[in-house]
């Protein structure tokens, strides 16, 4: 396995959206040896809990805990403290919770790190606009005027001003986020669909290659891998496309 492959595979975050730990473990077995990030979201976390996250860390995976916290600052601080104690590499909040809430997440991280110096500092990122949100829904249902891109950039700038490490957005917005917030600001981009694959509920999509060319730091891929007939081949094909980009 060469360094370039390792680096690119590390930018692929596989979404373990399963109803139980057994099914997630089957995928881990299938993908064994591919040095990708693993994402635990609400479905698996609410079913398998912190033990599953610890198991992933014991097996040496980088873990993104995608619980999208959105609550009053004090509650988010407590949540961030508990999440940091799990030893995850990345977790997120909603930027719509505001600057004080995002700063509270960082305060929770600091509190955990102060209480245990062997813990690592996770990347803390904020969701801008969900990749399932289309322009008309943003304007007419949610009631935010203007373009999706402008709303995403506003949230990204707010996130940066709160001191967080980056954002979750569509890869369609990655280049603009890099322009607005700098290249060290992390862009984590779901809504990735290899050419010809089913878009499902995602509205703002790009292919793996387009996302990398647009400057995404990480791409998040769920169903195009978990729902594939041959998940390992699907993941390898995505990494190949990322490498060629
Ligand atoms: O804006 C967002 C934020 C998070 N997600 C999560 O990413 C994966 C995408 O899965 P697919 O099956 O590839 O659509 C999923 O876990 C979402 O909860 C997102 O899609 N968009």
User: Hey, which of 191, 224, 225 would you mutate to test ligand 1's pocket, going by the most ligand atoms within 8 Å of its Cβ?
Assistant: 191
Listed residue (44, 162, 188) closest to 95, CA to CA = 162
Q: What's the 3-state SS for the chain?
A: CCHHHHHHHCCEEEECCCCCHHHHHHHHHHCCCCCCEEEECHHHHHHHHHHHHHHHHHCCCCEEEEEEECCCHHHHHHHHHHHHHCCCCEEEEEHHHCHHHHHHHHHHHHHHHHHCCCCCCCEEEEECCCCCCCHHHHHHHHCCCCCHHHHHHHHHHHHHHHCCCEEECCHHHHHHHHHHHCCCCEEEECCECCCCCCCCCCCCCECHHHHHHCCCCEEEECHHHHCCCCHHHHHHHHHHHHHHC
Q: Is the ipTM of this complex over 0.95?
A: yes
Distance 5 CA to ligand 1 centre (A): 24
* Token pair of 222 as six digits: 């769920």
Regarding pTM above 0.90, the answer is yes
pLDDT tier, 134 (very low <50, low <70, confident <90, very high otherwise)? very high
Could you tell me if the CB of 220 is within 6 A of ligand 1?
A: yes
Mean pLDDT in residue range 125-140: 98
Domain spans in the chain, listed from the N-terminal domain onward: 3-244
Catalogue the active-site residues.
66, 68, 71
For the stretch 219-238, pLDDT in tens is: 999 999 999 999 999 999 99
Distance 191 CA to ligand 1 centre (A): 6
pLDDT tier, 146 (very low <50, low <70, confident <90, very high otherwise)? very high
Distance 114 CA to ligand 1 centre (A): 32
Q: Which CATH architecture has domain 3-244?
A: Alpha-Beta Barrel (3.20)
Residue nearest atom 18 of ligand 1, based on CA coordinates: 41
Contact 182, 147 (CB under 8 A): no
Q: Which residues are known binding-site members for substrate?
A: 17, 39, 66-75, 131, 193, 202, 222-223
Does residue 1 have a pLDDT over 80?
no
Task: Supply the pLDDT for residue 109.
Answer: 98
Indicate the average pLDDT of the chain.
Answer: 98
Task: Supply the pLDDT for residue 29.
Answer: 98
């Amino acid at each position: 396995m060469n360094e370039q492959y390792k680096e690119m595979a590390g930018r692929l975050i596989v979404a373990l959206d399963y109803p139980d730990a057994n099914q997630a473990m089957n995928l881990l077995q299938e993908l064994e040896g591919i040095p990708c990030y693993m994402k635990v979201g609400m479905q698996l976390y609410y079913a398998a809990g912190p033990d599953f996250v610890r198991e992933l860390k014991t097996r040496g995976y980088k873990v993104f805990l995608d619980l999208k916290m959105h609550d009053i600052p004090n509650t988010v601080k407590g949540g961030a403290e508990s999440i940091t104690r799990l030893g995850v590499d990345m977790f997120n909040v909603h930027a719509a919770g505001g600057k004080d809430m995002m700063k509270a997440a960082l305060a929770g991280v600091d509190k955990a790190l102060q209480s245990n110096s062997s813990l690592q500092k996770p990347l803390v990122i904020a969701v801008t606009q969900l990749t399932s949100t289309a322009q008309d829904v943003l304007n007419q249902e949610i009631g935010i005027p203007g373009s999706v891109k402008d709303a995403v950039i506003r949230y990204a700038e707010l996130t940066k001003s709160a001191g967080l490490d980056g954002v979750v957005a569509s890869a369609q917005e990655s280049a603009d986020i890099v322009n607005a917030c700098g290249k060290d600001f992390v862009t984590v981009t779901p809504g990735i669909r290899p050419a010809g694959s089913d878009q499902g509920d995602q509205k703002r999509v790009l292919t793996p290659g387009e996302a990398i060319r647009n400057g995404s730091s990480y791409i998040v891929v769920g169903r195009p891998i978990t729902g594939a007939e041959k998940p390992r081949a699907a993941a390898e094909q995505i990494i190949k496309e990322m490498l060629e980009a």
